[in-house]
Every structure is written in structure tokens, then in C-alpha cells.
Structure 1
Amino acid sequence: MTSAPAPTLRDLSQRFAQAGRVEAILLRPARRAPMLRVDRADAIAERGLQGDRSAARAAGRLAGKARHVTLIQAEHLAAIAALCGRGSVGAELPRRNLVVSGLNLLAARSLFREAPLVLRIGDAVQLEITGPCEPCSRMEEALGVGGYNAMRGHGGVTARVLVGGLLRVGDRVRCETTAAPLLG
């Protein structure tokens, strides 16, 4: 009796235990403006979310850019709160566009260029994770002394909108392999 070969790192990096869920959608209408929590938003390919300041910029300036949308894991909000000595941290404080639960967003960035991964949200939207979303100095204002360091490693990820469409709170978030390397 022969056993199946052990999975490779390539195989393992494409396996996820479950789908995630969109817990919150937040828009930044202008720099330093309060976040707006919405139940739905239109993702615009190569731009960002309608109503967010990143999508409002001239389309030509954003083409190929890596930061159309920012995402954070809901599970990291509790870690940030603990590291700041707070009881909780609301979804608005880290200033990310999408709060996702149940899926390791850091693992949704492909380790292999020839085997890209995409986040498929709801029926149509596809995002490419482009890197970590490092905290800014505003986290000290929002979270208090040490807020910047509490966010380091827990700040979420940045993403490009590959395919636009409607996003809703409650949408399923799946990490999938793509057939061809992504552009950029």
C-alpha cells in the first residue's frame, strides 16, 4: 500500500480551512474625515470603493497601484485592544475599509508568483492582496499611547480591485487560485 505524497508548500499555501465573512464596510470620504460605516459599497476595478477617497482620485493615478482597498481581520481587533489596554477596539479606529472574520488575510497573499491567489467577495468582486497595511502615526491619536506599536503586525493588508461589483456586509470571502499570473 503506497501512501499519497506529502503536500508541498505550494499545495499548503493554497488551502484554507473555511471561507471568511465581511463584518463591516467603512469608507474614508476625505483625509482625516471620520469613517462612514455602510451596509454595501460598489468596488470599482483599479480604483477602490465608491465613496472612499482612494476611488475619488483620478483613475490614471491609481492604475496599477497596490492600495485601492484596505482590509483587517476582525480577530485582530481584540489583539489590538489587549495590546493597548482597552476593553475593545471598534472597526472604525484602525481606518481600514473592510473588516473580515474567519480568514487569515496575511495568508491570502501568494507565496508563488506563478500561482497567484485572489480574494473573491460575494458574487463578483475579486481583490489581489498586495502587502501589509502598516499603521500610521494617527494610531496614537486613535488608540492612545502605544497605539502605533499595538497595530504593528495587526494592521491588516492592502489590496487592488481586480474585478469590481457590489460588496455587502455578510458577504462570503473566499481565497482562490487564479488560472494565470496577475498583472502588475
Structure 2
Amino acid sequence: MRAFLYALAMSELRELTRCFPRDGRIDAILLRPARDVPISAVDEVLAIAGRGLQGDRIAARASSRAGGSNRQLTLIQAEHLPVIAALIGVPAVDPALLRRNLVVSGLNLVAARSLFKDQPLELCIGEAVRVQITGPCDPCSKMEATLGEGAYNAMRGHGGVTARVIAGGVIRVGDRVQCQRVPLLDSDENSR
């Protein structure tokens, strides 16, 4: 009976992790042309599969890893910006200071990273772009100099996520962001 209840709970958890209350939206696109250079805000950008965003320093580097680096793109939750501001005691935080590529509102980015290896999730952005969340985007020590004393700790847990570009295309400010389950191939289903 205990095994049955556990299996039922896991089945429900697996189903719950696929359900999002609504779609998100791209609020800002920010490119980092080089280290320690001001961010460039743009209205649209080309996402390149396996590389990142055209014009961003990450996409300019070649990766020796198949499929590219796990950190081709960084995203931050728009709803976390007021939290960071409150924690450092300022009225607002300019997302450009945080040096993340995409500011997304309305969709929990942390939940868009699958809890189950056999149930991958992807973010579908606009018409064609698909990205896979690969992990947290922890703040760097430069946040202290940028935002003030304690900013590093204020950003911990609110620094956003890293992602890989699975399918490229154009991303525009205002684009819809959906989290979708990636269908497994028949050979994947048979191997479980």
C-alpha cells in the first residue's frame, strides 16, 4: 500500500510540474558585447542554436561541448527585481545592471527547469525559439560594486537562470514565453 501511495504521489507531482497558470512575456532584451562594457538594450535579437544571442559575448565564443555551453543565455524573473530592490533598500533596480540577457514576466523560470530527466521542459519564445533551462544564474561579486554592500546576498536565489538555445530564431520584446514538455522519441520511451 505504501508503494502504491508513493507511486500515486510521484505521478501527481510529475503532472503538476507540467502545468503553468499562464504564459510569460519578454519584457527586455539585453546584450553584453564584452566583459565590463555597458549593456545594450535592443527590441529584437537573433537566437543562435547551440551558441546564444547574436551580439552577446557568449555567442561569440565557440564551445568544445556538443550542443554548446549550458550558459548560452541568461534570464531573470521580472517579479524578482522589486525583491532585490527591497533587500538592498532602493526604490528600483535597473535590470541592465544585473547583466542578464532576457527579462521575463509572468512565468516562474525556476519551475521551468524540469525535476525529472525523462520529462524535459523547454521554453518556447515567440515564433520559433526554444531554450532549455540548465541551472541557476548565481550573482557575481561585481554586484557589490554595482548595487552596493550586501547586493550579492540580496541577489542569491533571485539571480535568474542559465539556458541553452535548442532552436534559434528571432526574439522580440513582447514575445510570448510558454513552458512546454518536450515529447520523448519512441526510442526514448522504450528505453525507460
For residue 80 of structure 1, give the secondary structure of its aligned residue in structure 2: helix
Could you tell me which of 165, 171, 175 is aligned with 1:171? Answer: 175
Larger helix proportion of the pair: 2
Check if 1:96 corresponds to 2:100: yes
Query: CA 1:60 to 1:14, structure 2 compared with 1: closer, same or farther past 3 Å?
Result: same
TM superposition shift of 1:58: 2.2
Question: Contact 1:47–1:62 (CA<8 Å) still a contact in 2?
Answer: no
TM superposition shift of 1:126: 0.2
TM superposition shift of 1:60: 4.1
> What is the TM-score with the length of structure 2 in the denominator?
0.89
| 1:92-171 mapped onto 2 (5 Å cutoff) | 92-171=96-175
Partners of 2:65 and 2:31 lie apart in 1 by 20
TM superposition shift of 1:25: 0.1
Query: CA 1:115 to 1:63, structure 2 compared with 1: closer, same or farther past 3 Å?
Result: closer
Q: Which amino acid aligns with 2:49?
A: A
For residue 83 of structure 2, give the secondary structure of its aligned residue in structure 1: helix
Partners of 2:68 and 2:143 lie apart in 1 by 28
| Structure with larger Rg | 2
| 1:1-184 mapped onto 2 (5 Å cutoff) | 8-60=12-64, 63-180=67-184
Q: Which runs of 5+ in 2 are unaligned?
A: 1-7
Runs of 4+ in 1 over 2 A off after TM superposition: 58-64
TM superposition shift of 1:64: 3.3
Q: Which amino acid aligns with 1:10?
A: R
Identity %, equivalent residues: 62
TM superposition shift of 1:59: 4.9
* Count of aligned residue pairs for this structure pair: 178
Q: Which runs of 5+ in 1 are unaligned?
A: none
Q: Which amino acid aligns with 1:33?
A: V
